[in-house]
Structure 1
């Protein structure tokens, strides 16, 4: 299906809502458009105008929080828009980033209504809606400008991520991609807040797209990255869990032997696999819902699909020109 948006300039991003009934587009013309998709036809619902420069990204919030979308722009502003009874308005606006906001991503809904932002002046900002107001946390990423951010998926306790048992308690994690070609992994803990955990080094130019695979049930984390160095890399981090028996003795009138079962979780270093070199810069990478397919769009207007074979190699299975 083709959608005629009637933007007067280049479209920078588009995204469907979770149910596939609404499409949002944003453009260099500073406008966001919302279309209703039904029976392979589209109808323009509204135009959202509030940015004063090109809009780079739009992201739908989980429907648990209502019909809500976030946008970021070269004007250094992030706006969260919401719809109520057919009327769209701004729920929140932050305009003091002092540089272009290049990327935004909503956290898994289990954490609450939380938005991560990456800026050209090297800041990562996490905006959280509390009970009465919005709050923010920010830090310097030391990446010569943050071009993209993405959240790790929420993994509920008891989910099977390995053959040996349930995964450890999930932790908030964010990946950020810089203009220096470096990917950084950030983790959150109650004591220290957001902490830099690791650098993923392999790309030699700006990271244009970064997305964590949201499929659970696998004994690993998967992260895909695309770059202006004309390459796509799939990063994987294995997690295993083993159970061991430990003997302990309780002394008293009688000596009693107890069996205690302990669980040991082993998290391995990140590994990378580089897909065959593309002929042009990479604009976007995205995972299928099941996590078994990776879509790549490049500067030569090609879209390719990639699938991992039984030997762990990613092979091209489809191409659209």
Structure 2
């Protein structure tokens, strides 16, 4: 009989000296986990190479914002090393690394969008300045849909910024939450259940038919509501298809779970009301049902929710400074499986 495997304690978090001069608001790894981007109230974005789980060197500093930078988001690597940043100054800046070796399939390679914004080959390829107030959240669409970025603003609008094949950009403006929009998250491009319902493409390895691709996102606002938006090709505009009421204070974050073709959609939302709700939808067009993540509210406001790549584990960041991980049991109840402390 083989000896029992020894239990392995989780590795302690590693501190990274970013050299930011003020509070850090966001930190995001790229698709491969090889680059870390951070942003701060010091108006800067920093990018670090990651080696053996730690940031290497001093990193590169990207400057261009005139206010605190709230969020950063990496595009899918098929578009090259592309990073977006959102700021209190009402701007979204899209950066590209022209000198990196990881720019496989860079869709922007033939385009020229301005001068380098810092050392290290990073350049500003787009400055989106159509919002009249703080841009609080940004989210890249699933790569199957193209290079599309949704931007949520305190001016009440969500702008959808699309990079076209001819090198131009187009913007759709969606009036989402009149009191302000705090968060935005794209739904998976694959229709829930399509991979197990026999609706896969006829030719092996062929892309999914256009009709099965869904252009849909969720937004959360200062009106305590969560709204679902879908692009209507016939009307050529974004339409509100659902409004989810369940929170009693500002919705701070929304996050669609990757469905990987499973038959149900999951959407997590968190709020200033100290609760996290998990919304499920069995099929497109069917009603959403909500389940509180915990029996009792958290001790303070809940700021962020984020799903694992598989969509099976939900991470929750709250005012108490802890990150908690939850997983759904076979009985449909959500159970805390880990607590991460810095």
**Residue 270 in 1 paired to residue 288 in 2?**
yes
Q: Which residue of the partner structure matches residue 57 of structure 1?
A: 71
State the distance in 2 between where 1:267 and 1:196 align: 12
Does the Cα contact within 8 Å between 2:259 and 2:265 map onto a contact in 1? no
Taking the TM superposition and a 5 Å limit, the aligned residue runs for 1:169-184 are 169-184=212-227
Distance 1:91 1:204, change over 3 A: same
| Equivalent residue number for residue 305 of structure 1 | 325
In structure 1, the partner of 2:44 is 31
Task: Work out which of the residue numbers 252, 256, 272 in structure 2 matches 1:228.
Answer: 272
Q: Which ranges in structure 2 are unaligned for 5 or more consecutive residues?
A: 1-13, 100-119, 201-210
Instruction: Please give the alpha-carbon distance, in whole angstroms, between the structure 2 residues aligned to 1:143 and 1:222.
Output: 26
Q: 1:284 to 1:142 in 2, by over 3 A?
A: closer
Name which one, 1 or 2, has greater alpha-carbon Rg. 1
Match in the other structure for 1:247: none
* 1:135-181 CA-partner distances (Å, limit 9, x unpaired): 101021134111101110111799425xx543872321010000121
Name the residue aligned to 1:258. none
Which residue, out of 20, 23, 26, partners 1:13? Answer: 26
- Confirm or deny that 1:119 pairs with 2:119: no
**1:154 counterpart residue number:** 189
Native 8 Å contact 1:143 1:182 kept in 2: no
How many residue pairs match? The answer is 293
Match of 1:210 among 236, 241, 254: 254
How many Å separate the matches in 2 of 1:67 and 1:113?
12
Is the Cα–Cα contact under 8 Å of residues 157 and 166 in structure 1 kept in the other structure? Answer: no
SS at match of 1:166: coil
2:335 aligns with one of 303, 315, 318: 315
Contact 2:161 2:172 in 1 (8 A): yes
- Asked if 1:190 is matched to 2:204, the reply is no
Task: Specify which of 210, 231, 238 is matched with residue 282 of structure 2.
Answer: 238
Distance 1:268 1:198 in 2: 10
RMSD: 1.6
- Note the residue ranges of structure 1 that are not aligned, 5 or more in a row: 240-265
Structure 2 SS opposite 1:6: coil
- Are residues 158 and 320 of structure 1, via their aligned partners in 2, closer, same or farther at CA, if it must alter by over 3 Å? closer
Counterpart position of 1:286:
306
**C-alpha separation between the residues in 1 aligned to 2:178 and 2:241?**
14
Aligned counterparts, 1:76-87, within 5 A: 76-85=90-99, 86-87=120-121
Paired residues of 2:193 and 2:261 also in contact (CA < 8 A):
no
